[in-house]
Amino acid sequence: MVQYTRTRFDASFAALSDATRRGVLEQLGRADASITDLADRFQMTLTGMKKHVGVLELAGLVTTEKVGRVRTCKLGPRRLEEEAAWIDRYRQLWDARFDELDKVVEELEQKEKVDGRKKRK
Amino acid sequence: MDARRESEPTPMKNRTTVERKTERELVTTRTFNGPARIVFEAWTKPELFKRWWVPKSMGMSLLSCEMDVRVGGKYRLVFAHEASESTFFGSYLEVTPHSRLVWTNEESDDGPVTTVTFEEKGGKTLLVMRELYPSKEALDAAGTGAADAMVETFAQLDELLVTLGASVGRS
């Protein structure tokens, strides 16, 4: 896990080491936005915002799509990967819990059999 | 009839699945090789619950576990992890013996409402746990908390770089 984080750390370093770009990611975490929206929000020229978005895009943190004259930005595949990684960790936790629960269930069932109780339907 | 058949291979472990069904909902499923009333019992009796809720791999221990399993009843779990303690609490909204449990998670405003259903079929029980968060943001935060922590780390790194940059600039 440390290794995984470090690789990511290196790869995203340039992109995330800028306060505006972190702000853009936070913003896109709430909702997709056009470059114009982002430029307005961060009080920046369109060219300046395009540059920031370009850096985030290169790092895989943001994807953009141009529809008509508007370029919409959203969180990129790396964010999705993070979600998948989190869900997987969450699954592992529950899997470990349920393995223990299996033992409890098995034990209770054995006990019932020993007690000679009939199964209720 | 119930004689043990030692030569039979161990039955395959049942699979745990977790899926984000909607923006606000996380669904976990698992089948147990036992009737619903037994699985339900293991979720609702503290002395049984304590035995499986905190697997060793979590690196935590359960200091206390109080559960008043009835509609409106409260629960309170206290965990210890290294030197710190954390408490989880809420109340039961629905309790239908052997088939359904609903409770709140009130340790945070963004906590989900958890619904667990137990469905028995042929002596086995399919358990479905749904965690419904108040908003997409709440589930995102629960899920990508790690990613957010990383952004925070980067912010600290930023400060360090500014400091380093300043000292490089001076030399």
A107, β-bridge pairs = none
* ipTM greater than cut 0.85: no
Boundaries of every domain in chain B: 17-134, 137-171
With an 8 Å Cβ cutoff, is B23 touching chain A? no
- Residue of A88, A108, A113, A120 for testing the chain B interface, max B β-carbons within 10 Å: A108
Tell me which chain B residues have a C-beta less than 8 angstroms from the C-beta of A8: 150
Boundaries of every domain in chain A: 2-75, 77-116
B52:A98 CB<8 A? yes
Tell me if residue A26 falls in helix, strand or coil: helix
pTM metric for this prediction: 0.64
Summarize pLDDT for B53-75 with one digit per residue, the tens: 987 777 778 899 999 999 999 99
Phi, psi of A92 (to 5 degrees): -60, -40
Tell me if residue B97 falls in helix, strand or coil: coil
Q: DSSP letters of B19-63? A: EE-SSSEEEEEEEESS-HHHHHHHHH-HHHHHHHSS-GGG--EEE
Phi, psi of B168 (to 5 degrees): -65, -45
With an 8 Å Cβ cutoff, is B55 touching chain A? yes
With an 8 Å Cβ cutoff, is A107 touching chain B? no
If contacts are CB pairs under 8 Å, which of residues 84-143 in chain B contact chain A?
A: 137, 140, 143
Average pLDDT over residues A16-34: 88
CATH number of the domain at B17-134, out of 3.40.50.970, 3.30.360.10, 3.30.530.20, 3.20.20.140? 3.30.530.20
Summarize pLDDT for A47-72 with one digit per residue, the tens: 999 999 998 888 778 889 988 889 99
Task: Determine the pLDDT at residue B165.
Answer: 55
CATH number of the domain at A2-75, out of 3.50.50.60, 3.30.360.10, 3.40.50.300, 1.10.10.10? 1.10.10.10
Task: Determine the pLDDT at residue B9.
Answer: 53
**Residue B3 pLDDT more than 70?**
no
With an 8 Å Cβ cutoff, is A47 touching chain B? no
